[in-house]
Amino acid sequence: MAGAYIHIPFCEHICYYCDFNKVFIEGQPVDDYVAMLLKEMRMVMAEHPDEKIETVYVGGGTPTTLTPKQLATLCQGVHDILHFDSGEFTFEANPNDLLTTDKLQVLHDYGVNRLSIGVQSFNDEVLKRIGRIHRAKDVYVAIANARKVGFDNLSIDLIFRLPDQSRDDFLNSLQNALDLDLPHYSTYSLILERKTIFYNLMRQGKLRLPTQDIEADMYQDAIDLMEAHGRHQYEISNFAKDGYQCQHNLLYWENDKYFGFGAGAFGYLGRDRYHNYGPIKQYLTPLHTEHLPVLAHHLVPVSEQIEEEMFLGLRTMRGVSEKRFYERYHLTVDAVYGETVPELESQGLLQRNDGFIRLTNKGKFLGNEVFQQFLLDEPLI
């Protein structure tokens, strides 16, 4: 069993905070990209004929910049090549691509059953400041159109700690989001990534961000408000009604297998982590000559697998299963982290019960500091 991530790198506009692999769509060889993407999928799956794909996630970039015809070609290819008959099939979307139902109808007709819509804020001034081209009114039209076509598994993303954003402003966005009564929400704190407009502004001293205390208040507001509305936190940044947790992302957090298709995509199969070429031309060229577009393979050492088991598992509210840890690595957690876990427990950052190790509420706010404690000084044999 495995998941499949498919990357569509095209955007109509580049947001100021985004560091994902993306390009302006104008002038790009989009039809050729879709054709070569399907070719890559055929070549890879020929090497894994017995692998069952149980989740598919199409991300970007902005997958919904594709035309209805291109979307249909891609979705049909997913079913035919990946032998994907049922399971969670997610598309990322921007609100401004869903102002009519044509693309939504194609996605629904071809079996897409989950949409993740990038909203980020319900404040038009904030949206302008972060480089988004949709406005709050577009979100309502997009959600209404999605429901009209037949989608019910809908999620939206919100970002907090945005430039000049107040706590009240984020609370207002949270309330507006919850008023839509969706089954799933994701909310992320702004991270300043290199090679983004915001990173450059920060380096120039021109980016006014909320303080760490206000950021913490915003995160606690999200946790409290989501829970009050029956959207339970199941991962550091994700909240859902029961039964609507994102199954594809759970594959990542459970350190399971997934294929990566498309420019800049990562895959993880057994111990093999591989990375495709990012630039469009470098991705397409090998495929035109019957070669896979893989830039590099990395054979993940056991030590690194164990570190990731802890980092990723602790992101979830379920936590790290001690039984699963032992079955995977033939070591107990105590054999590897016999001093680390008790120390973090004593600091009130971890709790250990029912065979699981989890972050406490305090630990959620200091997640990165906690995760660093699970880096191993020496590799395990």
83-141 pLDDT, tens digit per residue, is: 898 999 999 999 999 999 999 999 999 999 999 999 999 999 999 888 889 999 999 99
Q: Does domain 302-372 have CATH number 1.10.10.920?
A: yes
User: In this model, does residue 12 exceed pLDDT 90?
Assistant: no
- Other C-beta atoms lying within 10 Å of the C-beta of residue 201: 15
330-352 pLDDT, tens digit per residue, is: 999 999 999 999 999 999 999 99
- Mean pLDDT taken over the chain: 93
User: Where are the chain's structural domains?
Assistant: 2-252, 302-372
Q: Which parts of the chain are beta strand (E)?
A: 2-8, 10-11, 23-24, 53-60, 88-93, 114-120, 154-160, 184-189, 232-235, 238-240, 258-261, 266-269, 272-276, 294-299, 320-321, 350-353, 356-359
Q: Identify the weakest region by mean pLDDT among 12-26, 89-103, 150-164, 323-337.
A: 12-26
Return the percentage of the chain with pLDDT > 90, whole number.
84
Write the DSSP string, 315-380.
HBSS-EEHHHHHHHHSS-HHHHHTTHHHHHHHTTSEEEETTEEEE-HHHHHTHHHHHHTT--SS--
Could you tell me which residue, 195 or 134, shows the higher pLDDT? 134
State the CATH architecture for 2-252: Alpha-Beta Barrel (3.20)
CB 44 within 8 A of CB 34: no
With CA atoms as reference, report the closest residue to 163 among 199, 109, 195, 112: 199
Assess whether the region 2-252 and the region 302-372 belong to the same CATH fold.
Answer: no
